[in-house]
Amino acid sequence: MQAPPEVLRLLQNLLEHAYAPYSGYPVAAVVRSSRGNLYGGVNVENAAYPLSRCAEQAAVLQMVSAGEREIAEVWVLSRGEAPATPCGGCRQVLSEFAPPWAPVHCLSTGGGELHTTLGQLLPHAFSRNHLR
Ligand code: THU
């Protein structure tokens, strides 16, 4: 299953902007909002390692900063064969703004693909409903 051409182009351009001097593992992410807009992000690492940010979180920050709060679909692009899947923290951050049925497409430059949903990646997510 291919990503839409504009999404693929955006992911490929973003991957060039990833700042990953410590891990050497660039990642790009794109979220499509419920209004159909695309927001991209890359991983931005830091010499103080724990302050590094993942690509998915950078994309979510862009979307929310633009005034949107509903993720309809997620794409992730990484290098190599096995596509990166969102880390546990990113799954939680995505779940703040995406329903469990939101498709998550993980692609690699080597041609690997994993197509799943946020609910499959993070079952029984902690959410604002628990706080009521
Ligand atoms: N990383 C992401 O940005 N997204 C993922 O889906 C997996 C991992 C980043 C974090 C770190 O900068 C590098 O990849 C290696 O873990």
Residues 67-114 have pLDDT tens digits of: 999 999 999 999 999 999 999 999 999 999 999 999 999 999 999 999
pLDDT over 70 for what percent of the chain? 99
The dihedrals phi and psi of 4, each to the nearest 5 degrees, come to -55, 145
Q: Tell me the best of 23, 79, 116 to mutate to test the pocket of ligand 1, counting ligand atoms within 8 Å of each CB and taking the most.
A: 23
pTM, full prediction: 0.97
How many structural domains is the chain composed of?
Answer: 1
d(CA 123, CA 42): 25
Catalytic residues: 56
- pLDDT value, residue 1: 67
Q: Tell me the best of 87, 93, 107 to mutate to test the pocket of ligand 1, counting ligand atoms within 8 Å of each CB and taking the most.
A: 87
CB contact burial 97-111 (16+ within 10 A = b; e otherwise): bbeeebebbbbbeee
pLDDT over 90 for what percent of the chain? 98
Task: Confirm or reject: Cβ of 54 under 6 Å from ligand 1.
Answer: yes
| Domain boundaries, position 81 | 5-131
Task: Show Cβ contacts of residue 88 under 8 Å, excluding neighbours closer than 6 positions.
Answer: 122
Give the DSSP H/E element, type plus range, for residue 95. helix 88-95
